[in-house]
Copies of this chain bind each other. A is one copy, B any other.
Amino acid sequence: MANGGYARPPTLADVAQLAGVAVSTVSRALSRPERVNEHTRIRVQSAARSLKYVPNASARALSSGRKGTIAVLVPDITNPFYFGIIRGTQHALKAAGYIQVLVDTEESGESELALLTKLQQSCDGAILAAPRLSDARIAELGKLIPIVTINRPQAGIGSVVIDTTQGVVQGVEHLVSLGHKRIVYVPGPATSWSSDRRWKAILKLTERLPFEAIRVPAFAPTVASGTAAADAVVNTGASACITFNDLLAIGMLQRFAERGIRVPRDLSILGCDDIFGSDFCSPPLTTLTAPIEQAGRVAVSILLEDPENRRPQNVLLPTHLTVRETTGPAGA
């Protein structure tokens, strides 16, 4: 057979014929049952059932304009932080009857642009998690298709931001109260808005708290990069560090173990996000717990509530300090 043995699925017309009504009636009976006589509704529905009718999404999208899908773009599916986001979006999307199209942009703005351009016609909207794209590009895309960003607020576009500022304050106060006078920040990707934001929050705190803030060069936000980051941190002579994310912190923990540097006795580490694994690494990580999954859910609700972005919502989600075992007294 032409289609390789897969039977042609029944169409509205088939159902219509079996039920003895017009296709438009079937269409209504199935998508807006209240607009149809109860009697015919039942007839149509049972006909559809007996034929195992399943609506063709492409046809529906073509004629109605509604695609029933939302694209979710993440920089790296490998990263447990984004797992959390995905979990949140998936859940909310499913509840709202949408299908999630998941796309990995490989930490590249180019890729984000190319993929979203391609997807603009196939989705009702998109959620961009921590986009690496420039503000201008995002604004441009926002004109093509409804967009909500995560961790990248921007005028005119819906967004949800996991605001670590509050968490950073708690974290630094925790470290300073432990006697740390020199704290080093380990940044993430240069294009990461969050990373920049965290560093600024730390810097600002030097104005009112007795400590010195320094930072090392930027690192990829991965466990593997933790090795280099650890060495860089040791070279600063700081007694405590705050990392862009937990992945880096976990990688550093491994490197410190190798080098015989004891945490927190020799060095305190404060992570960020509280991802899967942060609670069972060794030692368990003190970190800034982020409502990751919630961020995904909220992004979906913003997108679906106000799809036209008439009055784009911007939601701020707070983080808080979770003290475990990687932070301790300075110079102990």
- Please indicate which of the listed interface residues A55, A61, A280, A309 has the most CB atoms of chain B within 10 Å of its own CB: A280
Interface string of A47-91 (1 = CB under 8 A from B): 000000011111101100101010000000110100100110011
- Which of B67, B78, B100, B281 contacts A87 (CB under 8 A)? B78
The complex places the Cα of A87 from the Cα of B106 at a distance, in Å, of 11
A4 at the interface (CB under 8 A from B): yes
In the complex, which residue of chain B has the Cβ closest to the Cβ of A9? B121
A223 partner residues in chain B, CB cutoff 8 A? 280
Interface string of A272-295 (1 = CB under 8 A from B): 000011001111000000000000
A166 to nearest B CB, angstroms?
Answer: 27
Within 8 A of B (CB), among A115-132: 117-122
* Given A67-B58, A102-B102, A119-B99, also A280-B254 (CB < 8 A): yes
A123 to nearest B CB, angstroms?
Answer: 9
A143 at the interface (CB under 8 A from B): yes
The complex places the Cα of A27 from the Cα of B240 at a distance, in Å, of 61
Do A5 and B117 touch (CB < 8 A)? no
- On chain A, the number of residues with a Cβ less than 8 Å from chain B's Cβ atoms is 56
- Please indicate which of the listed interface residues A56, A102, A250 has the most CB atoms of chain B within 10 Å of its own CB: A102
A280 partner residues in chain B, CB cutoff 8 A? 223, 250, 253-254, 277, 281-282
Do B9 and A120 touch (CB < 8 A)? yes
Do B4 and A307 touch (CB < 8 A)? yes
A101 to nearest B CB, angstroms?
Answer: 6
Do A99 and B99 touch (CB < 8 A)? no
A14 at the interface (CB under 8 A from B): no
* Given A6-B143, A308-B4, also A77-B58 (CB < 8 A): no
A302 at the interface (CB under 8 A from B): no
The complex places the Cα of A282 from the Cα of B61 at a distance, in Å, of 51
Within 8 A of B (CB), among A216-255: 223, 250, 253-254
A126 to nearest B CB, angstroms?
Answer: 13
Do B102 and A100 touch (CB < 8 A)? yes
A173 at the interface (CB under 8 A from B): no
A149 to nearest B CB, angstroms?
Answer: 17
- Please indicate which of the listed interface residues A90, A121, A250, A283 has the most CB atoms of chain B within 10 Å of its own CB: A121
Do A55 and B277 touch (CB < 8 A)? no
Do A6 and B58 touch (CB < 8 A)? no
- Please indicate which of the listed interface residues A87, A119, A121, A122 has the most CB atoms of chain B within 10 Å of its own CB: A122
**13 interchain pairs (CB within 8 A)?**
A5-B309, A6-B144, A7-B143, A7-B144, A55-B121, A58-B61, A58-B122, A78-B87, A80-B80, A87-B104, A94-B103, A99-B103, A281-B281
